[in-house]
Structure 1
């Protein structure tokens, strides 16, 4: 049914809510109580000239004026008030469309709270819906009910959400402007709303300065940490190795048969398991003269009788090791002795 065929006769009954009908723009007026103060850029709706994807929700002008008779001049001669779809109506007029598809639901005009709530519901969650506009609209809806709790139940909103939105109206004009511009986060705005209006700007600036100071201090700490030399990595123990103490006489003879004037050289040789390499023997100074000969013999790797070592005197043997072996060799020897002792104990306990 196209209402344009009814000429200029008043329309008493509109199409049922399930059906969308085309209505000339001359018979439509935007909701004077639209919660949006500005419709914004309409370029995203330019395609409405060819196709309208979603119909507008309207109530009769008569039903609207029964709620707000003071808006009669704003409604004028229109037959319908657009509750949801004011941007579509504005885009149709801007880009040259002559009519709009609408759905008429007169139950929306059953009360002020219902009509205002329907207008707010359409805009909640839209990115371009100003947060202060939303707060004002929510406050206007709640004002039409006997209590916040009743409004929450009627609109399907939570009591906490309503309180959070209405709290934003306690912000000073400067803080509301900062919130709208995105300079003030909503969570911070709710906290500032509990501060007296005349103190809000000062408190906000103090918080910003403190946050900036903490940011600089953290950057400085990171800079200093980056300048500190990295700690040397802990040296991992080498593969299992065997430390062999080789005793040779200075002249290359067997020290076990040497006389009183013979001198000895103790050479520590570290050998890795599985034959993965044998480091060069240490060529330390001999215990007496003739060290070059003993070192040469040790370098050749010939076997010698180890009976000349002070096996029966732990303190002398310990002193000999400290004097004649490298630190890393002594560490490996200690590990081997501990492992050998542990294995012996385990063997004894198992038997």
Structure 2
């Protein structure tokens, strides 16, 4: 395709293909629209918190991706003790609990769903489906991720089985699990973005009682290593460090790189999380 030519939404969707993190297993199944009263959120959702739902306010107009659910019977076949928790719901939402919460929050009366009882063949598969949806999301912090991985390992019985369920290496799983060895104060700092994951993994190897002191010592050392920034310029001489990004500027950048649709799609999939990709597809649809 020639540089600078336009591509349509179908082309972009085709390029993204199996690399898209947006609920891949349910794309080829026709969705059903049901009232919210017939849906219950997954009581075994590995997330501690659904996070800020403002990014899903558009669900009042459009739901780009159906929620993945299992029937009441299939779910209770695995977790009969949860019958009171799910109430009279006909379906339990496994992937899409944030969409369900946003629908309740912003006044949408129903939700598109896809029923797939095959993911409820055993507890390991059901839990893995819930974990996979959340791993790597920007609003799913690494401590939540580590707790979810640990939960799956306990369910599967071995690290090997859990790594196969998640399609992750044993090294990745080991790195995530190590974060649970952090002192509570450092876990909080990590969740707040004050502590880098790489540093956290190193600190996790230190005895818990010495971790906070080791972090403080590392911070102090970094402060001493910082170069002298020199005198601060007068306000009237200062220039903005960053100028606003416009569509025209992004387009010029793409043209200078001679980026083709496949490269653009790969870059966007790498840069955006699942909700960001949904917002992108909606924006492209509205402009197509």
TM-score (norm 2): 0.67
How many correspondences in the alignment?
204
Equivalent of 2:57, from 19, 27, 46? 46
Match of 2:46 in 1: 35
TM-score (norm 1): 0.56
Match of 1:171 in 2: 182
Q: Which of structures 1 and 2 has the bigger CA Rg?
A: 1
Question: Superposition pairs for residues 1-351 of structure 1, below 5 Å?
Answer: 18-215=29-226, 218-219=227-228
Following superposition, the deviation at residue 33 of structure 1 comes to: 1.3
Match of 1:294 in 2: none
Larger helix proportion of the pair: 2
**C-alpha distance in structure 2 between counterparts of 1:163 and 1:43, whole Å:** 33
The unaligned stretches of length 5 or more in structure 2 are: 1-27, 232-288
Following superposition, the deviation at residue 138 of structure 1 comes to: 0.9
Following superposition, the deviation at residue 219 of structure 1 comes to: 3.1
Following superposition, the deviation at residue 165 of structure 1 comes to: 0.6
**C-alpha distance in structure 1 between counterparts of 2:63 and 2:35, whole Å:** 14
Query: What secondary structure sits across from 1:219 in the alignment?
Result: coil
**C-alpha distance in structure 1 between counterparts of 2:74 and 2:127, whole Å:** 14
**Which contiguous aligned blocks of 4+ residues in structure 1 show a shift greater than 6 angstroms?**
none
The unaligned stretches of length 5 or more in structure 1 are: 1-16, 224-351
Which is bigger in relative contact order (C-alpha 8 A, separation at least 6)? 2
**C-alpha distance in structure 2 between counterparts of 1:147 and 1:109, whole Å:** 20
Deviations 1:40-68 (A, max 9, x none): 22222222122211100001122212222
Deviations 1:301-338 (A, max 9, x none): xxxxxxxxxxxxxxxxxxxxxxxxxxxxxxxxxxxxxx
